[in-house]
Amino acid sequence: MVATTTLGGTASNVVVAKVIHGLMTMTCVPNPVPEEQAFAAIKAGVDALPQGVKMVLNSAQFYGQHWSLGNLELLSRFYEKYPDYADRTFLMVKGAMDTEKFKVDCSPEHLRRSVDKCIAALRGTKKIDVFQPCRIDKSFTIEEIMKTLVELRNEGKFSHIGLSECSAATMRRAHAVHPIAIVEIEVSPTSYEEETKRVIAAAAELDIAVAGYSPLGHGLLSGTFKKREDLDPQDFRANMARFKEENFQHNLAIAEAIQSMAAKKGCTPAQLCIAWVASLGPKVLPLPGSSRKERTLENLAGGDVILSEEDKQEIAHVLETHPVKGGRYADDPSTDSLLWG
């Protein structure tokens, strides 16, 4: 039986699979996957769900090559070919990115322009269910940003409002303006900062869902990599702190411990990490990526894996005795706090 939950805010009546399907790796990679492979990966997850349960799909304005609209354009072709799947999926779209300057822009003019670009890319095949700025633009107050988002929602451009990489304090202020359906933050056994815990706790209090992206630590914990040479030099992760040579071998020991635990548990390392994120709360939804049918189903099954308190304590012990080296993106872990808006 596929684990399910409901979202929050204005989407609190929407029943969805506990595990979200991230679509970034279909198009935002050096070599995008064949279209039919991508379509099969999406269909597999949706087809595995009971009637009335929706699959949350996670996309963005900039998930194409060279930060283009390619991912949304792929989705438009998917929905044209399989129109019945529009009502069976719940589409989250991140935007507000100035792709020419590669920086977030939450000015009223740019927010509107970003939303309109995303809508145009979908070509009327599917309405955006949740729109979320990809980061909090500190040039504006969250109240100013929310005012624009509420105006756009009231115009019918999307159905619900979400946030991404927000602090607990910012989320509270935003929610006071208008109910937030879901917030997207990085959550994994190796990315569980104090602010992450505060966001999850505040979201539970306010009945806001949390999408925990990169539950496998950007693939670090999946067991895919045995040595750094396994990573394509063109892969964006090659420049991430935790994948750099001086940190990689140390962090690989954490991955090996996760693999050993998964073997004892009778699941894959990916499923163990997904289950760990899912265990953080009834409305905490792991958000792994998948561009293959088999991986979509593996990820979805991770939501059904139940971790005992002993399992969670064992993972905590591994991380206490062998803490991850490097920040989420930069070399210095202390800079992670700068990511929170």
* Residues β-bridged to residue 204: none
Angle at 45 (CA atoms; ends 261, 121), nearest 5 degrees:
125
C-alpha dihedral, 134 to 135 to 138 to 139, nearest 10°: -20
Residues 6+ apart with CB under 8 A from 239: none
At 308, the amino acid letter reads S
Q: Catalytic annotation on 192?
A: no
The alpha carbon of residue 202 and the mean position of all alpha carbons in its chain are separated, in whole angstroms, by 19
Which structure tokens are listed for 262? 């998964």
Q: How far apart are CA 218 and CA 220, in angstroms?
A: 6
Output the CA torsion sign for 98, 61, 285, 236: negative
Q: How far apart are CA 211 and CA 3, in angstroms?
A: 15
Element (H, E) at 4: strand 4-6
* Residues β-bridged to residue 198: none
Which structure tokens are listed for 247? 């940190």
Helical packing angle, 168-177 and 142-154, nearest 10°:
40
Element (H, E) at 205: helix 194-206
The alpha carbon of residue 333 and the mean position of all alpha carbons in its chain are separated, in whole angstroms, by 21
Q: Pick the catalytic residue: 63, 79, 85, 213?
A: 63
Query: Catalytic residue numbers?
Result: 63
